[in-house]
Amino acid sequence: MFILNQMSDIRQLLAASSIIAMVGLSPKTQRPSNKVARYLINAGYTIIPVNPGQETILGLQCYPDIGSIPGDIDIVDIFRRSEEVKPIVEQAVQTSCSAIWMQEGVVNHEAAELAIQHGKKVIMDRCIKVDHSTIHSEQ
């Protein structure tokens, strides 16, 4: 398996990435997904909201699913329950993304295996905001 757990690998991935599709991004400012998105925008990343119930989030066009996003994606960041991850990964492996990131508390080994079989890097049960801020506090 190619699951990234080493901070050096995560540092390289985040440095090489600029476009992050956030699946399950909430329009509610108090939700973790919204806080993470705002942090990543402030850190210079382009965020693509994915939420079928919304037209815009944080002033950004929202897409109903990964397959609807035009253009390239570097990371697909998933804020959904573990049992809902596999269909998302099935779409994500058809994109240009290099990595699937399952947020803290999200673990789906079957979906991870599928992503790895398609040459994608996988991060599971980690918060992209926490890892990014840790990396930047070390510099």
What would the pLDDT profile of 75-102 be if each residue is shown by its tens digit? 999 999 999 999 999 999 999 999 999 9
Domain membership of residue 87 (yes or no) is yes
Residue 126 sits at the vertex; the CA angle it makes with 122 and 130, to the nearest 5 degrees, is 125
2 in a domain, yes or no? Answer: no
pLDDT in tens, 51-63: 999 999 999 999 9
> In the 8-state DSSP scheme, what is residue 126?
-
Find, among 5, 42, 40, 35, the residue nearest to 19 by Cα.
Answer: 40
* pLDDT at residue 71 is higher than 70: yes
Domain around 27: 7-138
Instruction: Identify whether 101 is part of a domain.
Output: yes
Q: Are 129 and 31 in contact (CB under 8 A)?
A: no
pLDDT at res. 91: 97
Residues 14-51 pLDDT 10s: 999 999 999 999 999 999 999 999 999 999 999 999 99
Residue 1 has pLDDT above 50, yes or no: no
Name the domain count of the chain: 1
| Helix (H), strand (E) at residue 102 | strand 99-102
In a domain, 1, yes or no: no
| Predicted structure pTM score | 0.94
Helices (H), the chain: 7-16, 32-42, 85-92, 109-117, 128-138
How far, in whole angstroms, is CA 88 from its chain's centroid?
11
Question: What CATH number is associated with residue 45?
Answer: 3.40.50.720
Q: Does a structural domain hold residue 19?
A: yes
**How would you label 79-90 residue by residue, b for 16+ Cβ within 10 Å and e otherwise?**
bbebeebeebbe
Residue 138 makes CB contacts below 8 A (sequence gap 6+) with: none
